[in-house]
Each structure stands twice: as C-alpha cells, then as structure tokens.
Amino acid sequence: MAVFLSALGFGVVTAAILAISAVGFTLQFSVTNVFNLSFGSVMTISGFVAYWLNSAGLGIWPAMAVAAIAGGALSLAINELLYEPFIRHGVNLFGMVIVTISVGLICDHALQAIVGPSFFSYEAPAGKAFHFADFVLTGQELAIIGIAVALTVLVQAALQYTRLGKAMRGLSVNPSLARACGVPTRRVIALAWFVSGVLAGIGGVALFLDISTFTATTGSEFLIVIIAAAVLGGIGSPRGAVLGALVVGIVTEVGAAYWNPELKDVLAFSVLIVVLLVRPQGLFSQLATERAVAR
Amino acid sequence: MSASDSTAALVLDSVSAGYGGHEVVRGVSLSLHPGRIECVVGPNGAGKSTLLRAITGDAQFLGGRIWLGGSDISRMAGNRLVRRGLAWVPQLDDVFTTLTVRENLELGGFLLPRRRVAARVDELLDLFPLLRSLTSRIAGRLSGGERKLLAIARALMPSPTALLLDEPTAGLSPEMTGLVLEGQLPRLSESGVAVLLVEQRAIEAIEISARVHVMVSGEIRVSRPAAEVRDWDELARLFLGEG
Amino acid sequence: MSAATQYYIATILVYIAVNAIASWGLDLQFGVTGVLNFAFILFQAAGAYTTAMLSLGPASGNGGFQRYLVGVHLPFPLPILGAMLVGAALSAVVGLITLRRLRSDYQAMVMLVVSVVATVVAESVLGLANGSAGLSLIPNPAEGLAGLARQAQTWVFVGICAVCMLVVGLLMYALVYSPYGRVLRGTRENEPAIEAMGRNATRARMQVFVLGGALGALSGALLAEFIGAWAPSDWLYPETFVFFTAVIVGGRGSVSGVAVGSALVCVGVQQAVQYLPIGGDPTVLASLEWIITGLLTMLFLWVRPQGLLPERRRRFPAAERVLAPGDVGGAVEVDA
C-alpha cells in the first residue's frame, strides 16, 4: 500500500504536467485542426528561456511566467509566419503534419546547435516536504499540481462560459457558420495558438523542474506522451485531455513502481492502443469524423 | 430596380457569380423590402444557392453590385456583412452541433452588446416557442425541424435587416415544412425583416411570399407578385420559361 | 585508387541503394497510397535485428558479451529473406491495429507512438537485442568468400546491394504503373470512388503497409550487414522523417523521382554538411543535417509539391486536393 500511494503521488505530479500540456495541444487542434508536432519544441524553448532567466538570478516561478509569455509569442509567431501561409497556399491536413514536424526538427536542432548536447537543470529548491499518509510531495510538486488544477479549470470555464470561449468552440465545429455570426475567425485562431503556446511554456518549465535534467530535445520526446494523453481522452476535447493525462500519468508511475521503471511509457502507450481499439474516437471526443484544416 | 430604390433593404443589380471563373448566375437583379418575403424558385441546378452564396461572399463574384441599406456590400467578407445587418442560414451545417441550443443563440448574438444577449435570446424563444423547452439540448441531437428553427433563430439574433434562407425545408417532413414555412416565416416578416427565400417546394413557398422570382439556367426569367401565380399550370409554364 | 577512397565510394553506393529501397517502401505507403506511416523506421530496424539474430551464432559465442534471441548462424541469403518476412509480419500486426478503424490522423499519431514504444522496449529488455548498446559483429555475407581480398569483398557486397536495388526498382515500376497501382492511387485520392468501384480501400492500405514493411526490413538487413552493428540510437522515431523528405523531394508516387530524392536527402545532405566551413563539431553537423532536411521539406511543399520528377499519368481534375495546390493529387485517372 505504501508503494502504491507513493507511486500515486508521483503519478499525480506527472498527470499535472501532462494535463497542462495536453490541454494546450488539444485546444489548438480543436480550433484549427492542425496536428501540431512542433508543440514539444515550444515547450523546450520556453523551458530554456526560463533556464537563462533562472541562471541570471531570477526565481523559478517568475521565470515560468516569462516563459509562458515567450511560449505564447513563439507559438503565435510560428502560426502567423509559417503555418497560416502554408494553409493559405493550399497545403492540406497531412501536408501540415509534415510542415509541423519540419518546424519542430528545425527548432530543436537550432537550439541544440546553440546550447550543445549537454544536460541542464534549474537552480530551484524543491521546497519543504509535505506528508499525506504515505505519500510525500515537495512544495515544488504541490505548486505544479496547484498550477495545473488552476489552469485546466480556467481554460474549461473560459470555453464554457465566456463569449470568446463559445466562439472558439463554435469555430472548431463550423468555421463558416462562426463567420456568419460575425466571429472574427482569424483573430480567434490566433488566440488559440497563443493560449496553446502559453500552456506549452508553463508545461515545459514544469516538466523540466520535475525531471530535474533536460536537453534541447526533451520537450519533443515528451510530446509523444502528451499526444498519448490527448488522443486517449479524445483529441479536441480539453476535458478529455485532463482525463487522459490522469490515466497516463497514474498508470505510468504505478507501473514503474510495480514493474520495470524503464517500461513505464510502454504501459501508458499500451493503454492508449487498447482504448483506441475499443473506442476509436478516444474516451471523450464528440468529433468522430475528419475535417479539413480550418482557415 | 437600382440603388435609388430607397425603401429596399437589399438590392441586387445585375449580379453575376460562379466558381473558378465559370458563370453560374447571370445578371440577376432583384430588390428585397422590409417586412416582405420574396422567394426564388426554379428547377435543380438553376443557380439559386449560388445566388445566395454570391451575396454572402462564399461564391466567386463575377460582376454587378449588391446594396444593403444603401451601402455597397459587393465582394464584402462574411463576418463584416453581419455587422451591416445581413444574416443567412445555409442549407447544411446550419447550427453548431456540439453546442447547446442556448449557446447557439448566444453565439448568434456575438456582435450584440454583452448585456443585450440574454434578453435577445429570450425574445427569440418567444418567437420560436418550440425551442424554449430545448435550450439545454445539444444542437446535434435536435430533430430536423427543430434544428432548422434553431438555425433561423440564431440568424435573427443580431436583428438583421435582411435574412437569406437557403432551402430551409430540404429534408424536412411535410409536417415540419408546414411549421417552418406557414407557421414561422410569416411571423418573422411581421417583425420587419426582409426575407429572401430559396426553395425547392415552390407551391408552399409561393403561398407565403409577396413576390416570386423564377430562376432558370442562372437567370431570373420571371418576377411577379405571388398572388398572380397560385396554380400548378401557371407555375409549370414559368419553370419551362414560357411565362 | 587508394583503399580508403575505394571504401568511401563503396559506402556511398551501399547507402544510395539501401536508402532507395527504404524510400520506395515508404513511397508505396505514403506516396502512392497515402498512408502516413510514422513508424516506418521500426520496420527497417526489425529487418536489421532479424538479420543480425539469424546470421549471428548463439549468444554465448564471443565470450557471451552480448545478449540476444535466436542466434542460428544461417547462411546468406536466408537472414535477409527472414528479415523481410519478419518486417511483413510486424507490419501486418501494426496495420491491423491502426489501419482498420482509426481516423487517418489518429493512425499517424498511433504509429508515431508505436515507433517510440518499440525503441523503449528494445532499449529496456536486455535479452531481446542487447538493450541500448545494440548488436555488433553482425556478419557480412561477402566476408565469408574465400580467396577474395578485403576490398574485393566490399565490392561484392556493393554488388549484392545493387542487385537488390535493381530488383526492387523493377518491382516498383511493375506495381506502380499497373492497374493495381491505379487502385492504390485511387485510395489516396478518392476513397469513396474506389469503394464504389468495388475495391476495398482498407485492404489496399493493408497490402502496401505489409509490402512497404518488407522493403523497409530489406533495407535494414543490408544496412546492418554492411555496418556490422545495429542499436536503438540508429532508429529513433525522427529518422522516419528523413524518408518522408526523400519522397517529397523526389516526387510522391514517382519511382525514379524517389530514388533521386533518397540519394539527395538521405546521402547527399549528410555528405554536403561535411564540406561546409563550420568546423567538425559532430553535434553541430548532425543538427545542421536535421535543419537542412526540415527546410528542404518545407521548401518543396511550398515551391514544388510534386517533387523533382513528378508522377507521370493522364488525368482530369476531380474532387479533392491531396497534398498541395501544385500536387498531382485531385485527379482521377483514365487508362492511358
């Protein structure tokens, strides 16, 4: 029971990081229909922005806030300067997947050429340990969980209750009708990219804090787990992404505790594959059919 | 008919439109007046839907002018037309299927001042009483008729001066067709909106219209007061272009 | 010619052949039929490992320094044939999971996930193929030839690769330009039309998936025999992307185009960066290769989506665009 509870503790932290990132990934996908495989690079670059600020003496939490803005700006810039022109040029959904992979590889390797292949870590105290029965969480881990809960609730509430949130949901199912309602679709799409980048930035810093050492490709490697969580929950559904993050996070850490820690991701991916075999659209998704790229 | 027709809500002046340079609609002129329903009827492939798409900016505009309340809106982008007081209901994909009925209406009022939205939703629920009990239903789960009423209500949210309806009864049961055409549309026009109705069901459309335009091969062959065309023989002759 | 120069040229030739075979395999799936196989590198790896396990002796040999399964020391060409069988079988399994019920964007993502999982398993399960250290001392079939000098043996292996490339190339021509090839392209461009003609699009995808997997495995088998070693770091999931670039640059669905694209992208880019005046830092060089590959892909998707040597065929415009505006997609073929 003690092993289980401590694994559960780790699982919740992993799930928190996954939830922040997966919500960002899936929100942008639901609005634009672009499967953005450069999302991991935005996480990494934001994580490095925080690293440079942190090395210059800034505390990790203010550094995370700046990294969030940097991530949002980078994500928006990539869309406006690359993806949007490619979509207007007539490149379709699959072409766009390849464009996003290209952008991700270019970002990762440009960063790697600058920082080199070494491992980095933040200067940040883990904080006081808090005991909850048998599971122990550091102050830092509690903060990450708190941020994840706050952000996911915030995003969900904004989508559910605000005018812009409803416009975003409407746009994701029926772009031309959204235009017919007077929704400035281009600006709403830009907003989705920005919010997605902010979540990538926060998720990136939280990930790097949690795993303590990172390289120029850490974000892209973690992206696969994010995709697993997002697809598991049903891509395009932020609620599903949170659920998928919880399943993946907890299954991996509990699996690591009882089985081979190196194979923990395999367990998560197996869950994904089994779920997709039973329910091809994911646990939560309402969109079972394909759509074209939103313009 | 021209822009000088100052009482008209929407004026089309020899509009041509199509796709990829291919002309589907040729030199169509008509004007729409507040509080009146006018219908465009004609055989399949006559270019009726393309005519509506030319107005909403979804088809390629190949010539002519469109005036809305006195200002030129030819070639204007869709989301700006809404601000000028034009609303339309597409034939398919006419609601946000994953949103509730209330959310659909709220999104229809995207351009209204925030504090006006709830009151306007209530007004439309008064106008469409059938929707009142369904406000928290997901739009994708409505029946065909309920869905079409929601689509029309959504389009009316910003209180447009002109409303374009693209075959609102396509795929509906005769009962629902009656509800939409005879039950609902005449009441709309009482509120002062100018309605342009494109319909396959010519007889029913003519019943509720003030004026009929018969479109054949991309051109308006005949325009006349609906009262003058109320029998099948007359209509059949018009469809064949002998009017 | 010095021994070093000869070996350099031989290496380039082997790489050209191996990469052409692999790129053709992916082209059948992605280029001709439209299946986004983001796990392609996995099938090359399966071929490499299978060849190693079939041609190496028992794991206890060489002082038992590496652990692996099988080890039956089969003679040429059995390990290569075995590799192709395993590649095909593995493709069938992955295809059954992904191709039947999933949306096509999910298919791509699930394959990406499968590729990563496979690397993790190969790294973590030591007894399978010696974990992250990988397998070494994989026998080269030409080395067994008695009475031949080392250099001559290398050229014999180049010959084996050339024959394989030739056979696969001819097979590709026969397949792609046959009536069956038209069904495959129809699956890519207008699935409903293909289904309406009584052809099963899912079955067509399964077939090219299995065939492409076998070709991927063949390329891996030859590569492992030539290098003599194979490890998880050789087949990380982004490597698949290099083959996608080769297909896009060369011309989707074009047999000769893909061969040219693969020589340029898989071999040319790597050679070119060696001669750039930026010093010899291996990390920077590797990064630069990736950056150039990414830029090339985007450049071609923008400027010349049909590739250097476009797919040839008669067509008339139809339903839907497949990749990009200048792309040959969106055409329904008529018999030439």
Q: Which among A267, A238, A185, A259 has a CA at the least distance from the CA of A24?
A: A238
In a domain? residue C289: no
Distances (CA, A) of A32 to A25, A79, A135, B55: 11, 10, 41, 26
Q: Which residues of A touch B104 (CB under 8 A)?
A: 170
Give me C44's structure tokens: 């090359």
Alpha-helical (H) ranges within chain A are: 2-32, 39-55, 60-78, 84-88, 93-115, 139-161, 163-173, 175-180, 185-211, 218-233, 238-258, 264-278
The distance of A163 to chain B (nearest Cα, Å) reads: 7
- DSSP string across C132-161: GG-EE-PPPGGGG-TT--HHHHHHHHHHHH
The series of mean pLDDT values per 10 residues for chain B, 243 residues long, is 64 90 89 91 86 89 89 83 92 92 96 94 92 94 91 94 91 83 81 89 85 88 80 68 50
Please indicate whether, in this complex, the C-beta atoms of A92 and C112 are within 8 angstroms of each other.
no
Cβ–Cβ < 8 Å for C96, A266: no
For residue C265, list its beta bridge partners. none
At A21 the pLDDT is: 97
Chains that touch A (3 or more CB pairs under 8 A): B, C
- Residue given tokens 């490339």 in the structure block: C165
Q: Which of B95, B96, B104, B116 is most worth mutating to test chain A (most A CB atoms within 10 A of its CB)?
A: B96
Residue C76 corresponds to which amino acid?
F
Please indicate whether, in this complex, the C-beta atoms of A280 and C102 are within 8 angstroms of each other.
yes
Please indicate whether, in this complex, the C-beta atoms of A286 and B58 are within 8 angstroms of each other.
no
Q: Which residue of A has its CA nearest to B156?
A: A181
When pLDDT is averaged across residues A72-91 and rounded to a whole number, the result is 95
Touching C: A residues 47-106, CB under 8 Å: 82, 86, 89-95, 97-99, 101-103, 105-106
Q: Which residues of A touch B79 (CB under 8 A)?
A: 179-185
Alpha carbon distance B213, B39 (integer Å): 6
In a domain? residue C127: yes
The phi and psi torsions of C217 (rounded to 5 degrees) equal -65, -40
At B238 the pLDDT is: 67
Alpha carbon distance C106, C91 (integer Å): 17
Is A269 or A164 the better-scoring residue by pLDDT?
Answer: A164
Cβ–Cβ < 8 Å for A185, A179: yes
Parallel, antiparallel or unpaired: strands B60-68 and B219-225: unpaired
Radius of gyration of chain C (CA): 20
Give me B163's structure tokens: 């409303």
Alpha carbon distance B228, B238 (integer Å): 12
Out of C105, C109, C297, name the one closest to residue A93 (CB).
Answer: C105
Cβ–Cβ < 8 Å for A272, A224: no
Out of A92, A109, A235, name the one closest to residue C287 (CB).
Answer: A109
Q: Which residue of A has its CA nearest to B90?
A: A177
DSSP 8-class letter at B200: S
In a domain? residue C332: no
The distance of A216 to chain B (nearest Cα, Å) reads: 39
Q: Which of A30, A174, A185 is most worth mutating to test chain B (most B CB atoms within 10 A of its CB)?
A: A174
| C286-318 CB burial, b ≥16 within 10 A, e <16 | bbbbbbbbbebbbebbbebbbbbbbbebebeee
Residue C277 corresponds to which amino acid?
P
What's the N-to-C CA distance of chain B in angstroms? 20
Distances (CA, A) of C250 to C164, C214, C255: 20, 21, 9
In a domain? residue C56: yes
At B171 the pLDDT is: 81
At C16 the pLDDT is: 97
Please indicate whether, in this complex, the C-beta atoms of B110 and A180 are within 8 angstroms of each other.
no
Please indicate whether, in this complex, the C-beta atoms of A163 and B106 are within 8 angstroms of each other.
yes
Touching C: A residues 258-277, CB under 8 Å: 260, 262-263, 265-266, 269-270, 272-273, 276-277
- C25-C28-C31 Cα angle (round to 5): 115
Q: Which residues of B touch A162 (CB under 8 A)?
A: none
Is C183 or A291 the better-scoring residue by pLDDT?
Answer: C183
Distances (CA, A) of C311 to B174, C167, C181, C265, C314: 52, 20, 12, 18, 10
Quick one: what percent of chain A has pLDDT higher than 70? 95
Q: Which residues of B touch A177 (CB under 8 A)?
A: 90, 93-96
When pLDDT is averaged across residues A97-125 and rounded to a whole number, the result is 93
Residue A172 corresponds to which amino acid?
S
Q: Which domains does chain B have, with CATH numbers?
A: 35-43+85-239 (3.40.50.300)
At C318 the pLDDT is: 41
At C251 the pLDDT is: 94
Stretches where chain C sits below pLDDT 50 are: 314-336
Q: Which of B84, B99, B110, B111 is most worth mutating to test chain A (most A CB atoms within 10 A of its CB)?
A: B110
In a domain? residue A163: yes
Q: Which among A181, A169, A171, A165 has a CA at the least distance from the CA of B109?
A: A181
- Residue given tokens 């994840």 in the structure block: A148
DSSP 8-class letter at B139: G
Radius of gyration of chain B (CA): 17
Q: Which among A136, A114, A116, A112 has a CA at the least distance from the CA of A126?
A: A136
**Residue A141 scores a pLDDT above 50:** yes
Parallel, antiparallel or unpaired: strands C229-230 and C135-136: antiparallel
Q: Which among B37, B62, B28, B59 has a CA at the least distance from the CA of B199?
A: B37
Bond before C58 cis per omega within 30 degrees: no
Give me A107's structure tokens: 């970002």
- Give the number of domains in chain C: 1
Distances (CA, A) of B166 to A175, B39, B154, B201, C165: 18, 10, 14, 12, 58
Q: What is the pLDDT of residues A175-203, one digit of tens each?
A: 999 999 999 999 999 999 999 999 999 99
Query: Where in the sequence is the domain holding C174, given as residue range(s)?
Result: 3-236
> What CATH number is associated with residue A117?
1.10.3470
Q: Which among B179, B157, B37, B52 has a CA at the least distance from the CA of B95?
A: B157
At B232 the pLDDT is: 67
Alpha carbon distance A201, A204 (integer Å): 5
- Give the number of domains in chain A: 1
Alpha-helical (H) ranges within B100-220 are: 101-108, 114-127, 129-132, 144-156, 174-178, 185-190, 202-208
Q: Which residues of A touch B118 (CB under 8 A)?
A: none
Alpha carbon distance C118, C90 (integer Å): 11
In a domain? residue C77: yes
At A121 the pLDDT is: 94
Does residue A110 sit at the C interface (CB-CB below 8 Å)? yes
Out of B90, B114, B157, name the one closest to residue A163 (CB).
Answer: B114
DSSP three-state, residue A154:
helix
The distance of B95 to chain A (nearest Cα, Å) reads: 7
Question: How buried is B217 (Cβ within 10 angstroms: 0-12 exposed, 13-18 middle, 19+ buried)?
Answer: middle
> Residues near B233 by Cβ (< 8 Å), separated by ≥ 6?
none
What residues in chain B have their Cβ under 8 A from chain A's Cβ atoms? Answer: 56, 58, 77-79, 82-83, 87-88, 90, 93-99, 103-104, 106-108, 110-111, 114, 140, 154-155, 157-158
For residue B89, list its beta bridge partners. B165
> Residues near B62 by Cβ (< 8 Å), separated by ≥ 6?
B16, B17, B18, B21, B23
Cβ–Cβ < 8 Å for C25, C219: yes
Query: Where in the sequence is the domain holding A138, given as residue range(s)?
Result: 2-278
Q: Which among A243, A47, A16 has a CA at the least distance from the CA of A151?
A: A16
A284: alpha, beta or left, given left = phi > 0 and alpha = psi -120 to 50? Answer: alpha
Residue C99 corresponds to which amino acid?
L
Cβ–Cβ < 8 Å for C52, C129: yes
DSSP three-state, residue C325:
coil
The phi and psi torsions of A189 (rounded to 5 degrees) equal -65, -45
Q: What is the pLDDT of residues A250-262, one digit of tens each?
A: 888 888 888 777 7
Alpha carbon distance A28, A230 (integer Å): 12
In a domain? residue A213: yes
